[in-house]
Structure 1
Amino acid sequence: MSHSRRRSHAPGSHASLRNANQRRVLDVLRAGKADYTQAELARLTGLAPATISNIVRDLTALRLVQADAGSGRRGSSVRLSHESGLVAGVDFGHSHLGVAIGTLTGEIVAEERHLLRPAHAYDGSLALAASLIAELAPDHAPVMRVAMGLPAPIAGGVVRGPHILPGWHGTEARDRAAEIFGIPVELENDANLGALAEHRRGAAQGRRSSFFIKISSGVGAGIVHDDQLFHGAIGTAGELGHITLNETGPLCRCGGRGCLEAYTSINSIMARTEGRVSATTFDELIAAARAGEVVPRGAIEDAGLHLGWGLAGVVNLINPEVLVIGGDIARAGDLLLESVAMGVRRHALDVVAQTPVVIGALADRASLVGAVLLAAERTELSLDPPV
């Protein structure tokens, strides 16, 4: 059932004013906390308490909101109803798939994570995602929109760059996903979704601008400026991993030399310690560094210094309020942060050299949380009576 249909009313008519006021109330319910009293809604919207009471009654009849009895009518608790619709978030990684179902306020109500083959093809992976959405979604509420994240540059709904997801390169992923899911799809780079999540619900909450860098098998970044994601001219802003730090440095998977990714990705860190430590996973490497072993600690600190060098260019150029580190590398925590901050201080202008550098609050769920938030933000509710 479509929820994007809207009746037209003459501007300035009573019906048009009523719909505008109803949307003011819905916007507050969707953007803030889980529920509000009618008195709070009146204060936040500037509408009269009697008008709020009428709107709540009408939106309850439309099954868009739910009101629970409180201390008097204006003390009742009002929230969006699950019957108003749900959204889904899908997060594809190099070797994983995360799927979540969320409300139109962006709250996740169910989620699941699956491991995938590193070179997974798009058709089978999308079919698996569709089956998980159907499995996780409650029967009584429609899933109205999906937002999907991929660890690759995306331009015009097409996946660019064969390095992380070779089975997806050149695919018109947004259109193909919409066909398989049967509902509208928003497509984003996974680092952009992580940036959105950390900005709205995580370590950058309350800031107007932030820069999120995600480092796992590859390196990606997302930019939030004036509370909105910044995409650039064709949608590929944030490819920080392939700025050149040293043109005679190690070969990068992109074909260049001395890229930031060649110094900071988990694969590059592990490669530099191979044969010198007993650790075979990054978590084991972190544990060895915390136990005082010199080689793993040096490898993590060296990655941090190079990351700080790259981020110094970011703070010089766009001056975000905070730098947020996510992805697998974030598990190194304080082992990494000091060297990153040192790298920023060495290479940034004095006026921005003290830009805070923090570890993301949402860990490996950031991109999935961001997908649900984006799907919720892009979904418009219908004020037509249910059929």
Structure 2
Amino acid sequence: MSGRGARRPGSPTALRDQNRARVVAELRRQGQATQAELARATGLAPATISNIVRDLAEVGSLVIEKRSGKRNCVRLAGGSGFVVGLDHGHRHLTVGVSDLSHRVVARTRTELPVGVSAAQSMAHARRLLDAALAQAGVERAAVVGAAMGLPAPIDRTTGRVGSPSILPGWVGVDASALADAALELPVGVVVDNDANLGALAEHQWGAGVGTTDMVYLKLSDGVGAGLIVDGRLYSGVAGTAGEIGHTTVEEFGAVCRCGNRGCLETLVSARSVVSLLAPTAGELTIEEVVGRALAGDRAFARVLDDVGRQVGAAVAGLCSILNPELLVLGGELAQAERILIPAIGQVVDRCGVPSAAAALRIRPAVLGARTHLLGAIARAIDNADRSVFIS
């Protein structure tokens, strides 16, 4: 097709659309930014940025927020669409609705019974989603992106939940197809491992802002790592990179849910910690374990210190291979940061390549219980229907 408005490669119209897409992509990543920040991030000239912002604001795709004493900020308009994020944990399910400037406009949550099936979980998800959309006043047709996190590896070659999984009812399930059928959204649901989503969230808005190479380590009922390499999420050929919890640390140790023996997870998961202390202290929560350790209980502090040292040995190997600048500690056990971080650091210093160990900073996650939901929202925004932004 030819004509004045045709989008031929290299034509003014095609170049305009490409530049608009770059600006929109950056706003999707940052949530909001000044025009000067957009120019630096995209490499476009300030005048080009100014024209794009003016044009998109005129058609209602962008909002310019005037701030006294500061430069005006630009964000994507709420009318441009909304995204849905789902955080599916071992014992909980959280659903959030966000606009494209990363503002969560509704959030719903429920506890899940032990042994719930995948189909039953998605029935809960549908109920929570309906409630969240109603709370936000958002129609289903306005949803332009959706993502769900699971505490399980997702095999990219098949789309199915792999083993090992802390959710046995999900193994072998095509999670995206199941979510699509249950939620009935106008867009497909992207599914990823929750540690990957934690890495995305902490990299964009949390402890990892400004870093290019970092590891997000989730220590909870399951143990996994999300890897940011050269500023991007790295998940490997099949999507299972970062399964640090299933590296063998004791060849003849306890049998792990993955079928192997002596995996790191058998020693450092939240369940392992409470089971070690149960014979003398009874059933406790991780919060109670951490509280007693910090209050000076020697046995509790010893168990958490041992967790840090076991994790440190695994992290030392990871650092020697990837040489990240930052390790972000997340998950339930991150409550014990005052004990875990020094213990991890000592073993990394002793066992890691000296230059890699010296370069590594260890910090607790800062987004707390919101981390994996925000990661799902970030993933949904990244995969949102692009046509709604530049048409």
For the criterion TM > 0.5, the same-fold answer is yes
Task: Give the match for residue 60 of structure 1.
Answer: 57
Determine which of 359, 363, 372 is the counterpart of 1:358.
363
* Distance of aligned partners of 1:268 and 1:43 in 2 relative to their CA distance in 1, 3 Å threshold: closer
- Alignment partners' CA distance in 1, 2:333 and 2:108: 22
Equivalent residue letter for 2:61: L
Task: Give the match for residue 110 of structure 2.
Answer: 114
Task: Give the match for residue 145 of structure 1.
Answer: 145
User: What is the TM-score when the length of structure 2 is the normalising length?
Assistant: 0.88
How much has 1:237 moved relative to structure 2? 0.8
Aligned residue pairs, count: 375
CA contact (8 A) 2:93 2:125 kept: yes
Secondary structure of residue in 2 paired with 1:274: helix
* Distance of aligned partners of 1:284 and 1:42 in 2 relative to their CA distance in 1, 3 Å threshold: closer
Secondary structure of residue in 1 paired with 2:192: strand
CA contact (8 A) 1:100 1:108 kept: yes
Determine which of 160, 163, 170 is the counterpart of 2:162.
160
Task: Give the match for residue 256 of structure 2.
Answer: 252
CA contact (8 A) 1:279 1:288 kept: no
Matched, 1:170 2:172: yes
Equivalent residue letter for 2:346: M
Moved more, 159-168 or 62-71: 62-71
Deviation per CA, 1:67-101, whole angstroms, max 9, x where unpaired?
45789xxx765421100011111110111001111
Secondary structure of residue in 2 paired with 1:275: helix
CA contact (8 A) 1:211 1:320 kept: yes
Task: Give the match for residue 318 of structure 2.
Answer: 314
Deviation per CA, 1:112-138, whole angstroms, max 9, x where unpaired?
221101222112222322332333233
Equivalent residue letter for 1:347: C
Task: Give the match for residue 91 of structure 2.
Answer: 95
Determine which of 17, 20, 23 is the counterpart of 1:22.
20
- Alignment partners' CA distance in 2, 1:105 and 1:20: 20
* Distance of aligned partners of 1:135 and 1:282 in 2 relative to their CA distance in 1, 3 Å threshold: same
Secondary structure of residue in 2 paired with 1:11: coil
Percent identity between the aligned chains?
38
* Distance of aligned partners of 1:293 and 1:155 in 2 relative to their CA distance in 1, 3 Å threshold: same
How much has 1:48 moved relative to structure 2? 5.8
Deviation per CA, 1:345-380, whole angstroms, max 9, x where unpaired?
232122222322221111222111111111111224
Task: Give the match for residue 377 of structure 2.
Answer: 372
CA contact (8 A) 1:279 1:285 kept: no
* Distance of aligned partners of 1:8 and 1:83 in 2 relative to their CA distance in 1, 3 Å threshold: farther
CA contact (8 A) 2:89 2:150 kept: yes
Task: Give the match for residue 120 of structure 2.
Answer: 124
Equivalent runs, 1:267-306 vs 2, <5 Å = 267-277=271-281, 280-306=284-310
Moved more, 84-93 or 23-32: 23-32
Secondary structure of residue in 1 paired with 2:357: coil
Moved more, 133-142 or 237-246: 133-142
- Alignment partners' CA distance in 2, 1:383 and 1:284: 48
RMSD over aligned CA atoms reads 2.5
Secondary structure of residue in 1 paired with 2:355: coil
Structure 1 stretches lacking a partner, 5+ long: 1-6
Task: Give the match for residue 3 of structure 1.
Answer: none
- Alignment partners' CA distance in 2, 1:68 and 1:365: 26
- Alignment partners' CA distance in 2, 1:285 and 1:69: 48
Task: Give the match for residue 136 of structure 1.
Answer: 132
How much has 1:189 moved relative to structure 2? 0.4
CA contact (8 A) 2:305 2:339 kept: yes
Secondary structure of residue in 1 paired with 2:274: helix
Secondary structure of residue in 2 paired with 1:223: strand
Task: Give the match for residue 330 of structure 1.
Answer: 334
* Distance of aligned partners of 1:43 and 1:280 in 2 relative to their CA distance in 1, 3 Å threshold: closer
CA contact (8 A) 2:213 2:326 kept: yes
CA contact (8 A) 2:77 2:101 kept: no
Moved more, 348-357 or 260-269: 348-357
Matched, 1:185 2:178: no
- Alignment partners' CA distance in 2, 1:384 and 1:310: 43
Judging by fraction of residues, say which structure has more helix: 2
- Alignment partners' CA distance in 1, 2:266 and 2:30: 41
How much has 1:140 moved relative to structure 2? 5.1
Moved more, 12-21 or 245-254: 12-21
User: What is the TM-score when the length of structure 1 is the normalising length?
Assistant: 0.88
Equivalent residue letter for 2:7: H
Equivalent residue letter for 2:82: L
Matched, 1:204 2:200: no
